[in-house]
Amino acid sequence: MTSTTAFLRHEIVHLLPRLRRFGRALTRHREDADDLVQLAVERALMRAHQWQPDTRLDSWLFRIMQNAWIDEIRARSRHAQTFVDEALGEQVGVSTTDAQIDGIAVRDAMARLGEDQRAAVALVLVEGLPYKEAAQVLGIPIGTLTSRLARAREALQVMLSPREVQA
């Protein structure tokens, strides 16, 4: 076990909740989210030498997750897999509060965003990454990130506002 790998293991343990949260924002299904985290952890440890110690570790891991997710999306579209919306199913048997009900609505709206827009929202609004970091994770210019973010926000506002008339 190299010292970098040992260091990474140590740091990644503490990042697991945030990685799981990002995974949950990115994918529609709980198991997909944890599968994504597990894959990213294994890949990160195998590529330990690629991580630059003066850069953010969370961004590096988000990037690995994001890329793995893109591969998965492409594979699924090739096999014409349809998504089953589990959002409501997950809540059965759990006592709900207003916040939890709103959470369902928000996660459902997020799931209906395009992949690019959802990733932008997940990185900036959920994980709180600065624009510069988020843009690097996605491998795009900052201007592209902010316009995706703007369109995503508009789309979410429409989906989440009960007074808007939906065409």
Partner 1 sequence: MNPISDTMLMAYADGELDATERAQVEQALLADVALRARLDRHLALGSRVQAAYRAVLDEPVPDRLLQAVAAPLPAATVTSLAEHRERRQRAAAGSDKSDARDAWGWARWGGMAASVALGVLVAQALPRLQAPAAGDLPFAAQGDGLVARGAVAQALSSQLAGSAAAPGTGVAVQLSFVDREGRYCRTFQAASLAGLACREGDNWSLQVLAAGPSTPASAPADGLRQAASALPAAVLSAIDARIEGAPLDARAEAAARDRQWRR
Q: Which residues bind partner 1 (CB under 8 A)?
A: 1, 6, 9-10, 12-14, 16-18, 20-21, 24-25, 31-32, 34-39, 41-43, 45-46, 68-69, 71-72, 75, 99-100, 102-103, 106-107, 110, 121, 124-126, 130-131, 146, 149-150, 153, 156-157, 160
As a dihedral over the C-alpha atoms of residue 67, residue 145, residue 114, residue 80, rounded to 10 degrees, the angle is -30
Distance in Å, CB of 137 to partner 1, minimum: 15
Distance in Å, CB of 38 to partner 1, minimum: 5
Residue 154 and residue 122 in contact, taking contact as beta carbons nearer than 8 Å: no
Distance in Å, CB of 102 to partner 1, minimum: 6
**Which residue number, 138 or 156, has a Cβ lying nearer to partner 1?**
156
**Which residue number, 43 or 56, has a Cβ lying nearer to partner 1?**
43
**Which residue number, 92 or 99, has a Cβ lying nearer to partner 1?**
99
**Which residue number, 18 or 112, has a Cβ lying nearer to partner 1?**
18
**Which residue number, 157 or 166, has a Cβ lying nearer to partner 1?**
157
Query: Given 3-state DSSP classes, what are the helix, strand and coil percentages for the chain, each rounded to the nearest 5?
Result: 75, 0, 25
Distance in Å, CB of 128 to partner 1, minimum: 8
> Rounded to whole angstroms, what are the CA distances from 84 to 20, 29, 95?
20, 9, 23
Phi-psi region of 143 (alpha: psi -120 to 50; beta: other; left: phi over 0): alpha
Considering just the CA atoms, what is the radius of gyration of the chain in Å? 17
The C-alpha atoms of residue 28 and residue 162 are separated, in whole angstroms, by 23
Burial (0-12, 13-18, 19+ Cβ within 10 Å), 34:
middle
Distance in Å, CB of 144 to partner 1, minimum: 13
